[in-house]
Amino acid sequence: MPLTLRLLNGSGYMRRYDVENILRHLYAMQCVEIVGMSNIGKSALMRLLAQPDVWVQELGEAA
């Protein structure tokens, strides 16, 4: 499984493993906590997760 996903609009994103695991928990209606040191990319990850294309790419019809 590649670490970079290509979305339908041609853009890509890293952190596939993180996104996949977070969305799996959210889809199962479980709580997720994102913590880490300063400047590690928490906000960027949250902005990524806010994109509907990411959900569709990872969850398909279930998104």
Residue 8 to residue 23: CA distance in whole angstroms: 18
The predicted structure's pLDDT at residue 30: 94
Note the pLDDT tens digit of each residue in 8-58. Answer: 555 556 677 888 889 889 989 999 998 989 988 888 888 888 888 888 887
- pTM more than 0.75: no
DSSP state of 50: T
Q: Where are the domains of the chain?
A: 5-62
Contacts of 22 by beta carbon, 8 Å cutoff, 6+ apart: 32, 34, 45, 49
7: confidence class by pLDDT, cuts 50, 70, 90: low
The predicted structure's pLDDT at residue 12: 57
Angle at 51 between CA 45 and CA 56, to 5 degrees: 115
2: confidence class by pLDDT, cuts 50, 70, 90: very low
Cβ pair 53, 7 in contact under 8 A: yes
